[in-house]
Chains A and B, each alone.
Chain A
Amino acid sequence: MGQRIDRDLRRFRQIVRGVVKKELRKYMKSGELLGRRGRNVVSIPIRQIEIPTFRHETRKMGGVGQGDGAEGQPIGVGEGNQPGVAGNAPGQHALEVDVSFEELAAIMAEELELPNIHPRAREVIEADAGRYSTISNTGPESLRHFRRTFREALKRQIASGSYNYRQPVIIPIKEDRRYRARRTIRRPETNAVILYIMDVSGSMGDEQKDIVRNESFWINTWLKSQYKGLETRYVIHDAQAREVDEDTFFHTRESGGTRISSAYQLAAKMLAEQFAPEEWNIYIFHFSDGDNWGGGDTQQCFNLMEEFLLPSVNLFCYGQVASPYGSGAFITDLASHFDGHDNLVLSEINSKDEIYDSIRAFLGKGR
C-alpha cells in the first residue's frame, strides 16, 4: 500500500515540476512567487493540472447557510467554500502546491541549463554528518544497545540490593535502556555571501525596483541551493552609500544624484572587514540605471574594481535597468574597460521580459 501511494505522489510531483518548468519564464517575469514564500517552500498556484469538468459558475450559485445574522450581512464564505452538501470527495480546494527552494533551484538549473558552482574558498563550519558512535538514553528500539542496557540493569539491581547471585536474573526496566546514537562531527563546508548593491537615485522607479527584487529572489534561490551557509547583505547608494536591511533596500527612494564609486568603496570596506576572500565565496550584484556622475567617478570605480573587488569575488554582476529617463553609459564603459574579464558579467535589463535572460547570463558562468 505504501508503495502504491508513493508512486502516485511521485508522479504528481513530477507533473507539478513539469508545469513549473514550463511556466518559469512567466514566473520570472511577473514575480508572483515572491509573495508566496514560506520558510522553506514556495506555494505555487497551479491551475493547469486541475481536471476540468462541466460545472456551475459558483459566483452565480449561492447556497444555504446556518446561523445568526441579518439579511445583507456578509458571511465569510470564500470561493470554493460552498457548503458540503454535494459531492463525496474532499476535492474542492484551490490547487496550490508547495515546492521547496531546493526543488525550485533544481528546476531552474534544468530550464536555464545552469552549471553547478565550483566553490572557491573553504571555511570550517558545523555540519551534521553523523556516525553511530555514541550512546544515548533514548532512541528507537531498533538501535537498542543490548550489552549496555544489560550492564545498566545489573548496576541498578546491585545498587538497590535486588541482585541475587544465586539466581542472577537481570530484568531491565525502561530507565536502563541504552541506544546507539549519532555523533555530530565538524566538517569543512563552503560559505557564501551575496552583496546586493542598488542605485536608489531619483531615476530608479518602482518598476526598476521590481525587476531587482525579482532577480534577487531567483539569484538567492539558486545560490542557496549551492551553498550551505548563505548570507545576504544590502547596500543602497545615490551620491553616498550605506548598508541597510532587506526591507529598506527595496523601499528606499532618494532624490540625489549618482556616485557609484561610493558604493564600491563601501563594498570594499565590508569585504576587508567581514568577509575575507579566502574564507568566503563572494557575489556582488549591482543594479543601476547606469547614469553615473561625471567628473572621474567612473574611473574611480574602475580603480576600485581592479584593485580590490574583482580579485576578491567569485562573480561581479552588473545589471543595468532601463529607467524612464533612459539608460546610462556605465555599462558600455565597463564593457570597454574590462573586455574579456572572467568574473565580471554585464547584463542589460530593459523590461521584465528580459529578467529571464539576465538571470541566465548572471548564473550561467558556474562560478
Chain B
Amino acid sequence: MIIDGIINGIALGCIYALVALGFVLVYKATKVINFAQGEIMMVCAYICYAGMTSFHLNFVISFIIAVLFGFVLGSLLERLFMRPLIGHSVLPAVIATIGIGMVLQAMVGLIWTFEPQEMDPFPVSPYHIWGVSISPVYLWTIIITFTLMLFFFLFFRYTLIGINLRAIAEDLIGSMATGIAVRKMFNFTWGLAAAVGAVAGILLAPFVFLHPHMGVVGLRALPAAVLGSFGSIPGAIVGGLVLGISETIAGLYLPKEIKDVFPWLVLFLILLVRPEGIFYTYEQKKV
C-alpha cells in the first residue's frame, strides 16, 4: 500500500513539477507569477481532447498539436497583454494574468460547456514490473516528465537560446547591453512555459476530469515552486516531487479535508521554517 502510494505520489509530483516549471520559467525571466498557467494547461488539454474526439486523430498527433498550440497561445498572450507592461511594476502584470485566466476559462466554457469530460488516452491494464503493478498513466507520466527534464537540462546548458534565457534571468540590463533580444526572449519564454503547461495538462487530465475549473489544480503547484526557491528549475522539479509524494502519503492517513488543502498547509510551513526554499542563491539588489 505504501509503495503504491509512493508511485502514485511520484506521478502526481511529476505533474506538479511540470506546472511549477511553467511558473518558474516565466518568473525567472519576467518576475511575474503567471496565475493563468493553470488555465493555459486546461485549454491545451481541451485541444488534445478535441483532436482525439472531434477530429479522430491519433493520441500522439493530437498531443503534439496541443503542445504546439500551447506554444503559440503562450507567445500570443505575451505579445498582446504582457508586452505593453514590460518595464512597469509587476503588480499590474500579475493582475493581468488573472484576467487572462478568466477569459480562457470563459472561452472553454463557451465552446465545450461547463460539463466535465472524460479523457483517458492511456491503456487501462496495469504493467507488472518487479512484482509491483503500475498503472500505465503513472508510468507514462513519469517517463514523459523525466524526458522533458532531460530536454530542459540540455536546452539550458547547450543551446544559444537557453544560454540567453539564463543570462536574462541573471541580469536583465546587462543582457540588453550585450545585444540579447530581450523582448523576443520573453515571448519565447511564455511560449515555452505554455508548452510545458500543455504537457502537464494532458497528463493531468486522466487524474481529474476535464473541466474548465481544472486550472485550480495547477495553482496547487505554486507551493512546489516556493519549496524549490521560486526561480530555480531543479528546485521546481524537486519541490514538485516532494509535494506530490507527501500529499499522497498524507492522503492515506489524514482526513480528506486536510488532503484537499495539503499543499497550502505545506506552503505555510515552508514560509514559517525556511522561506527561501531549498535551492536558495544569495542575491544583492541595487536601489
Asked if A pairs with B, the answer is no
A interface residues (Cβ-Cβ under 8 A, vs B): none
B interface residues (Cβ-Cβ under 8 A, vs A): none
